[in-house]
Structure 1
């Protein structure tokens, strides 16, 4: 990817759209079999299921149809071209905190699939593929039995849905965020269960205007949302975001693709306030995805240049760049991407392993996290998607 400093903002955003699009472990697994899940985002969408071995390596378990359709690598914001990162989002695949259910966004037919997870065997059973009444659902977040979903088109791009015991979704409401058809990339429920946070990577699509807004919605007792407050971001183009854990549960960390930076915020009284940043990811471009270790010591960002960058967090939630290239992989030689595009990631609940999607290389790589945060590659597994670039989402138990 061309360095942003050499591009005008409009053309930078166009390039970044093909370079950006999630989940890290935040619960203690009770499953006998450790699992990892991604989605193929193919026309007939499927979940890729892997067993997680004790040494962090992966063993393919199979493909399970979602009952919905993906985009097969087609990116709406890139003139419907087939490119790496077709969904331009974080968290298209999530696991419930109790690790009993798996949720997958099917952007090709505007549905969300819900699976039951057998916690002893890891076996998946599709309950239902539900229409959302929105256009291209791409990011998911769960709060008890309420699912929040962002969509890529429409005047009201954020939806709230009650999850039924049978896997059904009942719509509770939809909400306006930025002006219609903005590119929303991340929805996240705060650890205190009081707020829903939405990142706006582009404030407008035509003409493309870089985003500088994070919206925070109060959650009512019934799961519906109140009037949002807006925070102007420290950097430009907020893409992925994660809250810290435990004592840092009010700290929100954001990767800012347009300014190639990372910033941290504190959630106070339903509004985000800047803590540190923008901290440049030196030598890398378009950090979009990120995960936080369970002990809050480290943050890893994945970016459009195909690199994983390492940041540290202190006790006050301030971030520092440690290594701009903690890991990287080459692109798939026959793929449609010029970079491997380090994207969605997930960290095991014990903090020992980082699992990293490389969309442009059509694979998932396993890393052992060292005491100083450095990464040692322990294995990889090919996704073998139809287009070699449609891999999306990552979550595990």
Structure 2
């Protein structure tokens, strides 16, 4: 058994962190299931109003860790709170705190800045999308500061992911919709971000005390930016997924907060059809390949990274069948959501509509399944590890 661990957010109504230990062959064994003290959304999907569906939070990063792996944080979207845990040498968790975020907009994504000991909490609905907490030995102190991703006439924007750059200089936020009306309203409004505009990626400078400055609004490279991940060891180069544009781009973050992006690399290669709905992503340890989740198709696409360019390598990977109750764009899907990649070459992919977490060995453009364990049905979203 390696001293390596994987943590999953169950997002159950009584929310839990599910802790798995990793064996040397990449397989998993469940160690503990620890209550967060807060409420998840269960199988209900607030963004769509569906009673039971995967991707319940419509977000990336519902659970995260500090860089020293000694602290773990998780959102409780059902009661608008955040929980913190300490992580022991053996990976076991002890709850330290749970605090309300001060908003009713459903916390969905987290990122922790080790430089200023600040936890940033992103909410699906605004106007106060970003709340921050100071962290002291796991204790959470709400700063009382809120930040919006709304701009000008766009007052109902929906963000999906918040990420602190590895050097602690910026907070990056992907915005999925520029305008959105809650389920049940008439008329129904859903306007994609970065489709007829260039405002899908917001970059906030971070002051020394963790407060956020005026954002730089950037072109994300395509419609509906969803999840970005920085290359291992880099503070300026990242891969970003574009759900509606069905692909990914390679981004370059500059010192002034501006971003340049590469040409779109499509998830629709010769062997599979559109739409793919490219959402979550992880990287190989050597930064040569990215593996992105196709939510509609229920599979993954691998992308080859070469210098400042990225291109599709192989699609139809990691196909897992759903139980038939979730239909996306007319297709039965297992609803693959978050993934996490280990430093020794394994990818852990969640398929909530199949109640599975599957372990794959990364082999260049290919993925080889090595294990599968059970996770809670439909609601599970958020995974991290070390």
Please, what TM-score do these two structures have when normalized by structure 1? 0.87
Alignment deviations for residues 29-84 of structure 1 (CA, whole Å, 9 cap, x no partner): xx963111101111100111111111000111231100000001211111253211
2:367 corresponds in structure 1 to 375
- Which one has a larger percent helix, Structure 1 or Structure 2? 1
Pair 1:103-2:90 in alignment:
no
Shift of 1:335: 6.8
SS in 1 for 2:3: coil
Shift of 1:182: 2.1
Shift of 1:252: 2.2
Question: Residue 40 of structure 1: which of 1, 7, 10 is its match?
Answer: 10
Residues 153, 180 of structure 1: 8 Å contact kept: no
Pair 1:239-2:226 in alignment:
yes
SS in 2 for 1:360: helix
1:345 corresponds in structure 2 to 339
Moved over 4 A (4+): 333-337
Question: Residue 123 of structure 1: which of 86, 89, 92 is its match?
Answer: 92
SS in 2 for 1:70: coil
The CA distance in 2 between the partners of 1:216 and 1:273, in whole Å, is 9
1:209 corresponds in structure 2 to 191
Shift of 1:333: 5.2
Residues 345, 357 of structure 1: 8 Å contact kept: yes
The CA distance in 1 between the partners of 2:355 and 2:290, in whole Å, is 23
CA RMSD in angstroms comes to: 1.7
Shift of 1:334: 6.4
The CA distance in 2 between the partners of 1:320 and 1:279, in whole Å, is 5
1:10 corresponds in structure 2 to none
1:133/1:326 CA distance change after superposition, 3 Å: same
Residues 263, 275 of structure 1: 8 Å contact kept: yes
Q: Which runs of 5+ in 1 are unaligned?
A: 1-30
Please, what TM-score do these two structures have when normalized by structure 2? 0.89
2:260 corresponds in structure 1 to 274
Shift of 1:324: 1.8
Pair 1:163-2:142 in alignment:
no
Matches within 5 A, 1:1-397: 33-119=3-89, 121-134=90-103, 135-144=105-114, 145-171=117-143, 173-178=145-150, 179-206=154-181, 207-212=189-194, 213-246=200-233, 248-282=234-268, 283-284=273-274, 285-304=276-295, 305-316=297-308, 318-332=309-323, 338-350=332-344, 352-370=345-363, 372-383=364-375, 385=376, 388-397=377-386
1:34/1:183 CA distance change after superposition, 3 Å: same
